[in-house]
Amino acid sequence: MERSLRPTGGISNSQHDGRRLGLSCSAERLAPASWRRTSGRKRGDLLTIVALVAGEDRAGIFSAVQHERFRPLWAGSILSGVAYMTALTACGWVAFDLHHHSSTVGLVVFASFLPSLIITPFAGVLADRYDRRTMLLTMNAIGLVSTLGLAWLAWAGNQGAWALAAVSFILGASRSSSTPMEQAMLGSLVPAHDLLNAVSLLQANVNGSRLLGPLLAAPFLHVGGGAGAFLVASGLFALAFWAIWVLGEVPHQRSGSDHNPLAQFAQGLGHVVRAPVVCSVITLVFVHCAFTMGYDAALPRRASDVLGTSGTAYSLLMMAMGGGSIVGAFLLAGFARRVHFGYLFFATSMLSGLTLVPLGYAVSWSGALLAAAAVGLTQSMFIALATTLLQIATPDHVRGRVMGLYWGSTGGVMAVSNLATGRLADALGAGPMLALPGLVFGAVTVLTLGAPTLREIFGRRVASIAVPSAIGRLGPPIGRVDATD
């Protein structure tokens, strides 16, 4: 093996290392000036690190898919995400059809998001303690059983608001617990230079399911009182289970099953509090979800206001938002390295709130669809950028807990936000309850420029991580290196 990697002809060791890893002049550009003045083997090693960490690759939007172990996880995430959104779309419409009140929709959406607050953070503890693939299989099995239960309730005509809320809670628990497990597995399946791409593709799954889920649900919303849509979701959960089964074992650095889980949870929380970047990013996304992601409860009424009461109209509005989300995620996957990371993070944070204003007050159906697509695009890019920062900043042994706290806190506040939005939309109208919180978060984003950590992140061209000590031994002490380009 060593002979096969040995340079031949007039190629030096450093040149050979660079060519073997596909280094270009941009890798040289990313290296500090002191590195560029070095020569020989040490310079080749340093440029190798820059290329690996900076993500210097030529595979484009789907670079992470070239890794065989990532593909089953991605497929399983797509299937389970679409299954969840198919079921949630059906739940929202069935709930609205019961009384034609947004508050009923808000109750069901609240129930589906509530597990994010009280279960998902502890799912992160399980993801660090036990086999992540086994836990993911269990979550998909729960999703399968939950959607079958919803189909039975709908077919039997027992789809009361509280029955829908109870089963939606179980369904939400399975899906919200799956997300930190999927995210925690990425570091074991994808090398560092494809991490941003992998996160973006998983984010495309999460948000693109808002397109495919309503699309699949729409023809079946009136079949058996929504039972048809729930059965479609059940089939997709079954396929997701099979995809994760095919993935095989995914080894990771476990936190130790012999330790107290509550103590491990506290350690994860302590890590979040002590790490400035992690704490700042999670806080910003928490506030974002509180003000800008309570729209699920208001969308059925908004669709009714614009086009009249119709399950198809509601599905189309959800699909437009999902279409924008998937476009945003794929744009980020393909072009994020060519733009300023911090500027893009700030801009998408701002626009994710401001785009809710035209969604709330569009007077035409085409205007409402375009506004919904803009909301989906900006929010998906903002969340993907924030998630990438957390992936980079968090070590593997605590990543499950950090991602659990991240998705748990944000999903939990979305539950409360939807519950409040549903009730207020009945009193004030859907338009104000979409636009006003969006404007508030736009103002909050501007105020974050006064927070030193976030201001530093917004000013960086690339996301950054601390250099491991093993890398630091290759040359002079290095404080930080860039993680994405």
What contacts 454, CB < 8 A, 6 or more positions away? 280, 284, 448
Whether the per-residue pLDDT at 405 is higher than 90: the answer is no
In this model, does residue 50 exceed pLDDT 50?
A: no
Q: How far apart are CA 241 and CA 293, in angstroms?
A: 28
What is the pLDDT, as a whole number, of residue 351? 95
Say if residue 256's pLDDT is above 60: no
Round to whole Å and give the CA distance between 366 and 60: 32
Contact of 323 with 472, CB cutoff 8 Å: no
Structure confidence at residue 382 (pLDDT): 93
Residues 261 and 414 sit within 8 Å (Cβ to Cβ): no
pLDDT band at 64; cut points 50, 70, 90: confident
- Higher-confidence residue of 476 and 239: namely 239
> At residue 18, does pLDDT exceed 60?
no
Residue 48 predicted with pLDDT over 60: no
Chain centroid to Cα 211, Å, comes to 15
From 35-44, 201-210, 279-288, the region with the lowest mean pLDDT: 35-44
Distances (CA, A) of 255 to 67, 137, 183, 466: 26, 20, 17, 22
Helix, strand or coil, per DSSP, at residue 402: helix
Closest CA to 346 of 437, 446, 441: 446
Structure tokens, 395: 């070590």
Distance CA 458, CA 106 (A): 34
What pLDDT shows up at residue 310?
55
| Stretch 281-295: mean pLDDT | 91
pLDDT at residue 281, rounded to an integer = 94
- For residue 36 the two structure tokens come to 């560029």
Instruction: Give the helix ranges, DSSP H, for 130-226.
Output: 132-156, 161-189, 195-217
Domain covering 68-466, topology: Growth Hormone; Chain: A; (1.20.1250)
Mean pLDDT of 472-483: 35
145 against 218, higher pLDDT:
145
Whether the predicted pLDDT of 279 surpasses 70: yes
- Calculate mean pLDDT across residues 408-437: 84
Q: Which of 206, 436, 176 is nearest to 328 (CA)?
A: 206
User: Per-domain residue ranges for the chain?
Assistant: 16-44, 68-466
CA distance 111 to 411: 11
